Structure 1
């Protein structure tokens, strides 16, 4: 190993130990941002569902720990590691990562529309020009991972997900803390934002039955009516974005097909063509489809 590689690996370990000291569970990453340690089950004839119960390292985010000795042991097994991952959703911080691939103004507009303020918190600049905002979630609330569901270019890292920690070096560059945020604790996630990040339970077949009092054709209900109002309130330049967001929420909540006509009608009323509206709703359906069911999930 070259001296520069050894230095990068040593720095990655140092940053990881510092994060672990703050209560953030960590594990080593390779330059590709993937877990550095290969799975111990990679040669098994059947896909393994093990999440570390076997006691062996190599389970990605499930290896994450705050124990300094265990962190050192993981990095000793992966001397090629150039960074570290921080597991989200784990105590004590129950970290929620807001991954902005676009301008922060996108999140600012979302905050204004839904009545919350983005708090000052740990912020990490990514090599691609984006940024990660660290927020603390409440215990007992599992925030799902998502890509583009909250808004285009806004991904969420929640339970079972991870963020590349500041100081990590990848093939595209380094992750760096925004000056002035290093000493901040992860700020509590605003309640209004948390509600957006935690979709309600999927309605049962019984609750999705058409209503005998009209409106049964769309199966709207209060949640569906809220999504339709959200689309109707779109201003010029935001019509397609709002429709896509609402359709993703509808499909993730299990009522996408029932609401598709009403959402399309609402979008047409704001100025989109029927073809544009249907194409956007179809894209949302493909994006939110479970893996292996129809078109693959896009990012």
Structure 2
């Protein structure tokens, strides 16, 4: 059994290093598909949120790397790992995973085809990974200035989306239920660009703003300050997501142009560059139907 485990770990590491060569950030997974390394802060419930800033391993998707030396160190620290995760939302691919499940009792592939017909987009040729349960993972590439959130069943029953802060189980991984494999003829492909019509469906739906007689400049100012505080509370790994969400709400509520500077300042305060912040806000303006 020990020899078998070592072989599985060696194979998983080889597949992980191969994925990293394609620009995909990876980290080790256990047979349960969960991160193989436990949090170093698990015995300290009062510890502040940490996404790897402490420098130790055990932060799940935030451990993901493309550097071969770091990947080998991660697997050396988790000799029981039999698979690897691929972090979504990171450059250069800004990977978006479309997980077509079979456990819900619905035909998720048919649901995706129906969405494609209804919203007039074509599902592109791209990397497709078969799961042990018979499901499929489609790999798509998102725009660099758009943060796609994770979701489960929001697009349609049985369709889960893996975006920023999420991960996909990489092909070649072994789990308690079997092995993840690439569909023949797709392994050599790069993740195809996500169709714009599908991308709009993956983003949080805009809220319709209904002005009321009680709306006042003071109320709008309070709302704007709340959005700024929401951005200021972001940690590494969620800064772009929070900024994009706040900017969308600002434009939907008619205070977007006035809130650009405060939102940029808040984002820079959390660690984003001014260029990143302005690009994210401009993307939110476009998605909300406004000119940035």
Q: Does the TM-score normalized on the shorter chain lie above 0.5?
A: yes
Candidates 191, 203, 208, aligned match of 2:196:
191
Which residue number in structure 2 is paired with residue 21 of structure 1?
Answer: 21
- Count of aligned residue pairs for this structure pair: 211
Structure 2: gaps of 5 or more residues: 215-247, 250-292
Write the distance in 1 (CA, Å) between the matches of 2:213 and 2:115. 32
Q: SS of 1:96's equivalent?
A: strand
Residue equivalent to 1:177: 182
**Is 1:142 aligned to residue 150 of structure 2?**
no
State the shift of 1:106 in Å: 1.4
Instruction: Note the 1:70-219 alignment, pairs <5 A.
Output: 70-102=70-102, 103=107, 104-202=109-207, 207-209=209-211
RMSD: 1.8
1:47: how far off?
A: 5.2
Q: Aligned with 1:163: secondary structure?
A: strand
| 1:115 to 1:9, Cα distance in 2 relative to 1, 3 A | same
3-state SS of 1:149 partner:
strand
Question: How many Å separate the matches in 2 of 1:201 and 1:20?
Answer: 35
Show structure 1 runs of 4+ deviating over 6 A. Answer: none
Per the alignment, do residues 40 and 201 of structure 1 end up closer, same or farther by CA in structure 2, a change over 3 Å counting? farther
- Partner of 2:5, secondary structure, is helix
Structure 1 gap segments, 5+ residues each: 213-252, 255-299
- Written as runs of structure 1 = structure 2, the 5 A alignment for 1:243-254 is none
Give yes or no for contact 1:98–1:132 (8 Å, CA) kept in 2: yes
Tell me the TM-score normalized by structure 1. 0.68
Other structure's SS at 2:15 match:
helix
CA offsets per residue over residues 151-171 of structure 1, 9 Å max, x none?
110000000000000000010
- 1:260-275 to structure 2, matched below 5 A, reads none
Q: CA deviation at 1:199?
A: 2.0
Distance 2:212 2:152 in 1: 31
Give the Cα–Cα distance (whole angstroms) in 2 for the partners of residues 92 and 201 of structure 1: 27
Q: How far does residue 45 in structure 1 lie from its aligned partner after superposition?
A: 3.2
* Rounded Cα–Cα distance in structure 2 between residues aligned with 1:27 and 1:211: 53
